[in-house]
Structure 1
Amino acid sequence: MSDDNKETTGRSGPGEDGRRERVIGTPSPAREKALLAEDDISAPAGVGEQLDEASMKRAERIVATFFLIAFAASVGFIAYFIGWSGRDGGMHGVTRTRESNFWLGGLMALSFLALAIGVTIWVRRLMTSKPIVQERHEMAADEETKAAFTEDFLEGAQDSGITKRPLLRRTLLLAAAPLGLAPLVLLRDLGPLPEKRLRHTYWAEAVEKAKSEGKKGVRLVVDGTNKPLKVSDFASPGSMITVLPEGIEEEVPEDQVLTQNAKAVTILLNIPADQFKPAKGRENWHINGIVAYSKVCTHVGCPAALYEQTTHHILCPCHQSTFDATEAAKVIFGPAARPLPQLPLAVEDGYIVATSDYHEPVGPSFWERG
Structure 2
Amino acid sequence: MTDNNDTAGSGREPAEGGAAPGRVVGTPSPAAEKQLLVSEDISAPAGAGEELDEKAAKRAERVVALFFLAAFAGSVAFIAYYIGWSGRDGGMHGIDRARESNYWLGGMMALSFLALAIGVTIWVRRLMTAKPIVQERHELQADAQTRREFTQDFLEGAHDSGITKRPLLRRTLLLAAAPLGLAPLVLLRDLGPLPEKRLRHTYWGEAVKKAQAEGKKGVRLVVDGTNKPLKASDFASPGSMITVLPEGIEESHHALNQIAKAVTILVNIPADQIKGGTEKNWTVNGIVAYSKICTHVGCPAALYEQTTHHILCPCHQSTFDATDGAKVIFGPAARSLPQLPLATENGYLIATGDFPEPIGPSFWERG
- The AA in structure 1 aligned to 2:318 is F
The CA deviation at 1:163 is 0.6
Residue 111 (structure 1) aligns with? 112
Q: Following superposition of structure 1 onto structure 2, how do residues 221-260 of structure 1 map, counting pairs within 5 Å?
A: 221-230=222-231, 241-246=242-247, 254-255=252-253
Indicate how the Cα distance of structure 1 residues 51 and 308 shifts in structure 2: closer, same or farther if over 3 A, else same.
farther
Q: Following superposition of structure 1 onto structure 2, how do residues 183-332 of structure 1 map, counting pairs within 5 Å?
A: 193-195=195-197, 197-204=198-205, 219-230=220-231, 241-246=242-247, 254-255=252-253, 261-268=259-266, 281-282=277-278, 292-296=289-293, 298=295, 304-305=299-300, 307=302, 313-315=312-314, 323-326=318-321, 328=326, 330=328, 332=331
Matched residues in 2 for 1:123 and 1:74: separation? Answer: 23
Q: Root-mean-square deviation (CA), in Å? A: 5.3
Residue 361 (structure 1) aligns with? 358
The CA deviation at 1:259 is 6.4
The CA deviation at 1:323 is 3.1
CA contact (8 A) 1:157 1:163 kept: yes
Structure 2: segments with no counterpart, 5+ residues: 1-21
The CA deviation at 1:292 is 4.2
Indicate how the Cα distance of structure 1 residues 312 and 154 shifts in structure 2: closer, same or farther if over 3 A, else same.
same
Indicate how the Cα distance of structure 1 residues 232 and 66 shifts in structure 2: closer, same or farther if over 3 A, else same.
same
Q: Determine what percentage of the aligned residue pairs are the same residue.
A: 63
The CA deviation at 1:120 is 1.9
Matched residues in 1 for 2:157 and 2:275: separation? Answer: 73
CA contact (8 A) 1:341 1:358 kept: no
CA contact (8 A) 1:287 1:345 kept: no
Indicate how the Cα distance of structure 1 residues 200 and 53 shifts in structure 2: closer, same or farther if over 3 A, else same.
closer
CA contact (8 A) 2:292 2:301 kept: no
The CA deviation at 1:118 is 0.6
Matched residues in 1 for 2:279 and 2:86: separation? Answer: 49
CA contact (8 A) 1:221 1:245 kept: yes
- The AA in structure 1 aligned to 2:169 is L
Matched length: 326
Indicate how the Cα distance of structure 1 residues 36 and 131 shifts in structure 2: closer, same or farther if over 3 A, else same.
farther
CA contact (8 A) 2:205 2:354 kept: yes
SS of match in other structure, 1:147: helix
Residue 38 (structure 1) aligns with? 37
Matched residues in 2 for 1:47 and 1:326: separation? Answer: 84
Indicate how the Cα distance of structure 1 residues 166 and 249 shifts in structure 2: closer, same or farther if over 3 A, else same.
closer
The CA deviation at 1:114 is 0.5
Q: Deviations over 1:290-328 (max 9, x none)?
A: 764424455676xx347467996424xxxx665325573
- The AA in structure 2 aligned to 1:323 is S
Q: Deviations over 1:208-267 (max 9, x none)?
A: 878x9897x7643123533123567568999765322346568xxx55866654542224
Matched residues in 2 for 1:280 and 1:97: separation? Answer: 45
CA contact (8 A) 1:63 1:118 kept: yes
CA contact (8 A) 2:219 2:246 kept: yes
**TM-score, normalised via structure 1 length:** 0.61
Indicate how the Cα distance of structure 1 residues 297 and 52 shifts in structure 2: closer, same or farther if over 3 A, else same.
farther
